[in-house]
Structure 1
Amino acid sequence: MAPHNIRWGIVATGWIASTFVKDLLMDPKIRGASDISHTVVAVASSSSKSRAEEFISETGIPAPCAAYDTYKDLVDDPDVDVVYVATPHSHHYQNVMLAFEAGKHVLCEKAFTVNAAQARILCETAKKKNLFLMEAVWTRYFPLSVQIRELIQSSTIGEVLRVLADNSFGDDVEEKWGTGHRMVNKDLAGGALLDLGIYSLTWVFQTLYHTLPREARRPPSKISAHMSLYHLTGADEATSILLTFPSSTPSNFPRPGESQALAMTHLRVSTNVTNGPVQPTIRIQGTKGEIQVFGPAFRPERYRIVPKDEGETREVDCPFPGDGKGMFWEADEVARCLRDGKLESDGLPWEESIVIMEVMDEVRRQGGLTYPKSIESTIYPTPL
C-alpha cells in the first residue's frame, strides 16, 4: 500500500517555518515511517510574493509549489489539505479562523493562542466544521517524550509526586531583543511565558496530567506565579509557576493523591551555564526514583533513570534521525490523524491545550501582564 500523502500549505516564512519545511522534505523512512508522506504545495508570505518564492528556493521545496502574497490566497488553494500556521502567537487565532473559513485542516504553532477563550473557540469551530486542529508542540511527539510517559505509566519510578522543569536562555535582553522583536513585543504577544514557558508547562502536563486516563485528568487546584516584567516593553522576562494537581500519577495513590510542579522560564539566565557541568533540564520525581532529562526542554536528546535505592542508573540516548530537528514527528502525527479521520490528536487533545492556556491566563493575571485588546479579541475577523 502506498504511503498516505498529505499536501501542506505554509503560512509565514520565518525561521520556524523554514525548520518545519526542511524536516517535512526529509525521507520519512529515515525515521522509520513508511505509512505516510508529505508534500509542500503552497507557501504564503504577508510581505510579498517574492519573499514566498525566496522561501521556496531557500528550503529546497521541489516544484510545483505555489507562492502567494496573502494568506487568504493560500487557504483558498484547492491543492492544500492542511495549513501550518507559523505566525507570531498574536496572529494565531485570526489565521486559524481564516483557514477554517476555507475548510482547511490546521496545525498551529505554540503557544496555541493568546488566551484560553480564543483556544476554546478554535476547538469549537473545528468540531462544528469537522476539521482537524492540533497545537504544534513538537516536543510531545519525540520518541524520548513517548518513552518517558510510558515509563511513568508503568510505575518505573513509582508514584510521581513532583516535577521541576526549566526552559531559560541567558541573553542580554536589551542587546539581543531590544523592543521590537517578537520575543519582547507585546503587540506580538511577546514575553518568556508564551514563547519559552510553554515548554516548561508541556513537561509538567505531559508527565503529571497526560499520563493519567483521560477521565481522571484534573486541572491544577492551585496556581501561584511570580513574574518579572521587561522594563522597556512590559512583556515578561522571567516567570516562575508553582502548580498543585489534585492527583498523582499513575495510580493516584495514596488517596487523596496530590502532586506539585515548578515550571520556570527566564530570558536573562540560562538553564545551564556553558562552561559548567550539564544539569538536568527536567526532573520527574517519584516514590521509587526519578527521571532526569538533559538538553533544552524544547529539544532534549537524553534522559537518565535513577532508582531511589539500590539499582542500576540507566542512561538513554534519543538522537534525531539524519539532520532533522524533530518537527517531522508532529507532522507525521497530523498525517496519520487525517488518514484515520480524527479531528484531534490523542497526544495533545484540545481539552489539554485549553487547560494549559487557562493556566497561562491565570499566570498573566497574577503577574499583571496584559496584551493589546486587538490580539486578545475573540472577534473574527479583527484587523491586526
Structure 2
Amino acid sequence: MSTAKTIRWGILATGGIAKTFTKDLLVDPTTRGVKHVKHSVVAAASSSSKSRAEQFLKDVGAPSDAKPYGSYEELVKDSNIDIIYIATPHSHHYQNARLCLEAGKNVLCEKAFTVNAEQARELAKKAKEKDLFLMEAVWTRYFPLSIYVRDLITSGKIGPIARVLADNSMATDPEDAFSDGKHRLVNPDLAGGALLDLGIYSLTWVFQTLYHTQPAESRQPPKVLAALKTYGPTKAADEASTIVLSFPRSDEAGGEAHAVATTSLRVATTPGGKADAPGIRIQGPKGEIQVFPPAFRPTHTRLILKDGTVEDKDWPQPGPGEGSGWYNGFGGGKNAEGEGHGMFWEADEAATALVEGRKEGKYEGLDESILIMEVMDEVRKQGGLTYPEKIETIKYPTQL
C-alpha cells in the first residue's frame, strides 16, 4: 500500500478566504475518502506585518514550526514550499502570481483569476516557460456535486443541453453596507463589482455544464451579448450584469445552445437567505438539472425528467464530524460542527496534479480560465467598465 504524498503549502495573504481555505486544508483527507495525498502548511505571509502572519497560523491550527513572514517576497523564497495559495483580491492576482512564478513556485490562485484576459495569458505563458503548475481556484468545480452534474450531462440523461440559466446574486444594500466605497465589491481599485466577484460563479456553471462537457477538440467560444448596470456612488464598478451567451455546436451535438448568466449586488438569487428555488437550471429535451443556492457552495440538486421522475440529492460537506469541536465557515457564517467548507477539494486536485506531474487543473485548464476572462472582458467592454491602469496592466512589477 503506497503512502500518501505530503504537499507543503505556503499561504499568501491572511484574510477571511485564506483562513477558510487553510482550515479546510488541514483537515485529514481520509475524512473525505482521499488517501493518496496529504497537506501541510509550512508558511504564511501577511503584507502588513509578521505578527499578523503569526496570529493567522495560530488561528488556523497550523503546525508549530510553520514560518510567518511579513512580506510576500520573503514567502516565495522559502525552499520548503511546494505550492503557494494566493488569497488576495483579484486586483492583485497578476502581480502576486507573477511574483510566485518568477520565484519558481507552483500556484493555486483565487478566482477571478486576474482582472483581464491579457493578464491571464501572461501568467499561463510564464508558468509554461518555468514548467510550473498554475490553476485558478474555482473551488466549486471540484465538488462531488459538480462532478455528478457534469456526469449526468455527458451520460445523455436529459439529452443535449439546450439552455442554462445561472444566477449568483445577493441583496447587500451596497450604499449602506459599503458606504465608504472601499469594500472589494464596489472599490474600483480592487476591481470591484458584481461581475468579477459574484458573476464568475454564474459563468462557472455555464461553462462547466455547456462548454467543458463538450469534446475538447470541437468546443468553441461563445458569442456574448451583455448589459451592465454601473454602481452609482463609485461609478467604476458594476452593481448588476446580465450576460447572454450563444455556444456554437454541430447539429449532431444538438446545435446552437444558449445560456443566461446573471449577477447583482442589490437583489438576491433567493430572498431572505432561503435556498428554496434553483439558482442554476440546466435544460435539455429530456428534462433538467437544478442546482440550489448558493451557486458557489451548493449542497442540493434535483433531476426532473420529462416523464415526471424527480430525483433529489443532498451533498453535505465532509469534515472531522460532530463531536470534533472543529468549526469552519466564511464571512461571519459558521458551518455545523465538524463540517468542512469545501475548499479542500480544489487543494486535493492541485496536490494530485503535482504528484502526477500535471501543470494545470483537471476540471478547468488554463485555456478555459483565459476564455472566461475574455468573456468578462467583453462584458465590461459592452458595459463601458474599465479599472485603473495599475490593476489592468501586465507590466511587472507594478506597485499596487
Same fold (TM over 0.5): yes
TM bin, normalised by shorter chain, reads over 0.9
Q: CA RMSD in A?
A: 1.1
Residue of 360, 364, 384 corresponding to 1:348: 364
Paired positions, count = 378
User: 2:202 is matched with which residue: 200, 218, 236?
Assistant: 200
* Deviations, residues 77-127 of structure 1 (Å, cap 9, x unaligned): 001110000001111001011001110000000000000000001001101
Distance in 1 separating the partners of 2:275 and 2:360: 40
> What is the CA-CA distance between 1:15 and the residue it aligns to?
0.4
User: 287-296 or 310-319, which moves further after superposition?
Assistant: 310-319
Shift in CA distance, 277/67, structure 1 to aligned 2, threshold 3 Å: closer
Which whole-Å CA distance do the structure 1 matches of 2:219 and 2:361 have between them? 16
Change (3 A) 1:230 1:275: closer
Structure 1 residues 255 and 218: alpha-carbon distance in aligned structure 2, compared to 1, 3 A threshold: same
TM-score, reference length from structure 1: 0.97
Contact 1:282 1:292 in 2 (8 A): yes
Deviation at 1:256, TM superposition (A): 7.1
Residue 209 of structure 1: aligned partner: 211
User: Separation in 1 of the partners of 2:275 and 2:365?
Assistant: 37
Please list the CA deviations of residues 176-221 of structure 1 after superposition, one character each: whole Å capped at 9, or x if unmatched. 122011111000111100000000000000000000111112100x
| Residue 275 of structure 1, CA deviation | 7.7
In 1: Cα distance, 2:185 partner to 2:50 partner: 26
Contact 2:90 2:111 in 1 (8 A): yes
Are 1:185 and 2:187 an aligned pair?
A: yes
CA distance in 2: counterparts of 1:16 and 1:363, whole angstroms = 26
Q: Could you tell me which of 335, 342, 348 is aligned with 1:326?
A: 342
- Residues 48, 70 of structure 2: 8 Å contact kept: yes
Q: 1:74 to 1:380 in 2, by over 3 A?
A: same
Quick one: distance in 2 between partners of 1:162 and 1:256? Answer: 11
TM-aligned CA distance change 1:32 to 1:231, over 3 Å: same
The answer on whether the counterparts of 1:49 and 1:67 sit within 8 Å (CA) in structure 2 is yes
Q: Aligned equivalents of 2:369 and 2:285: distance in 1?
A: 28
- Matched ranges for 1:10-29 at <5 A: 10-29=11-30
In the alignment, does 2:243 pair up with 1:241? yes
CA-CA distance at 1:253 after TM superposition: 4.0
Bigger Cα displacement from structure 2, 329-338 vs 52-61: 52-61
Alignment of 1:159-174 (within 5 A): 159-174=160-175
Preserved contact between residue 40 and residue 61 of structure 1 (Cα < 8 Å): yes
- Partners of 2:251 and 2:51 lie apart in 1 by 59
Aligned with 1:261 (options 259, 262, 266)? 259
Offset, 1:295: 2.1
Query: Structure 2: how far apart are the matches of 1:142 and 1:374?
Result: 35
Match of 2:289 among 288, 291, 307: 291
Question: Which string of whole-angstrom CA distances, capped at 9 and with x for unpartnered residues, describes residues 243-293 of structure 1?
Answer: 00002xxxx544671000000000011000128781101000001000011
Q: Where does structure 2 lack aligned partners over 5 or more consecutive residues? A: 320-338
User: Is the Cα contact below 8 Å between 1:85 and 1:96 reproduced in 2?
Assistant: yes
Structure 1 SS opposite 2:104: coil
Instruction: Give the AA of the match of 1:294.
Output: F
Percent identity (aligned):
60
Q: Which amino acid aligns with 2:160?
A: E
Q: Distance in 2 between matches of 1:246 and 1:335?
A: 34
Which residue number corresponds to residue 303 of structure 1? 301
**Aligned counterparts of 1:275 and 1:21: Cα–Cα separation in 2:** 26
Q: Does 1:66 align with 2:67?
A: yes
- The letter for the 1-side match of 2:65 is P
Task: State the alpha-carbon separation in 2 of the partners of residues 126 and 355 from structure 1.
Answer: 17
In the alignment, structure 1 segments of 5+ residues that lack a partner are none
Mapped to 1, the partners of 2:193 and 2:300 lie a distance apart of 28
Matched-pair contact (CA < 8 Å) for 1:159–1:253: no
1:340 partner amino acid: E
Once the two structures are TM-superposed, the CA of residue 61 in structure 1 deviates from its matched residue by 1.0
Query: What is the 5 A alignment of 1:46-125?
Result: 46-125=47-126
How far did residue 346 of structure 1 move?
Answer: 2.1
The answer to whether the 8 Å contact 2:160/2:254 transfers is no
Which one-letter code corresponds to 1:350 in the other structure? L
Instruction: Measure the CA separation in 1 of the matches of 2:253 and 2:289.
Output: 23
- Kindly report structure 1 stretches of 4+ aligned residues shifted beyond 3 Å: 252-256
Structure 1 residues 11 and 356, CA gap change in structure 2 (3 angstroms): same
Q: Which residue in the other structure is 1:316 paired with?
A: 313
Q: Give 1:172 deviation, angstroms.
A: 1.1
Match of 1:376 among 377, 386, 392: 392
SS in 2 for 1:76: coil
Counterpart residue type for residue 23 of structure 1: D
Distance 1:154 1:380, change over 3 A: same
* Structure 2 SS opposite 1:291: strand
Letter matched to residue 92 of structure 2:
H
CA spacing shift, 1:275–1:105, aligned 2, 3 Å: closer
CA distance in 1, matches of 2:251, 2:23: 45
- Judge conservation of contact 2:160–2:253 (CA < 8 Å) in 1: no
Report deviation, 1:311.
4.3
2: CA distance, partners of 1:100 / 1:278: 43
